[in-house]
Amino acid sequence: MIDLSGKTALVTGGSRGIGRAVATTLAAAGAHVVIADRSDALRTDGASTSNLICAAGGTAESVLLDISDSEQVDAVFADVAGRSGIDILVNNAGVLSAGTVLDTTDDAWRSLFAVNVDGTFFCTRAAIRHMVDAGRGGKVVNVASISGLRANPGFAGYCAAKGAMVNFTRQVGIDYAPMGINVNGVAPGFVETDMTAIYDASIRGALEAQTPNGKWADPQHIADTVLFLASSLSDHICGEIVAVDGGWLVGTPVVPVIPVATAVSA
Give the active site residues. Answer: 158
Determine if the peptide bond prior to 256 is cis (ω within 30°).
no
Q: In what order do the strands lie in the sheet with 138-143?
A: 59-64, 32-37, 8-12, 88-91, 138-143, 181-188, 241-244
CA-based Rg of the chain, rounded to a whole angstrom?
19
Neighbours of 84 (CB within 10 A): 16
Query: Phi and psi dihedrals of 213, rounded to 5?
Result: -90, 5
**In terms of Cα–Cα distance, which of 143, 237, 223, 123 is closest to 181?**
237
Kind and range of the H or E run holding 150: none
SS (H, E, C) 161-173: HHHHHHHHHHHHH
Q: Would you give the end-to-end CA distance of the chain in angstroms?
A: 49
Phi-psi region of 143 (alpha: psi -120 to 50; beta: other; left: phi over 0): beta
- d(Cα 98, Cα 133) in Å, to the nearest integer? 40
**In terms of Cα–Cα distance, which of 173, 207, 229, 194 is closest to 25?**
229
- d(Cα 129, Cα 123) in Å, to the nearest integer? 10
Output the CA torsion sign for 238, 171, 106, 122: positive
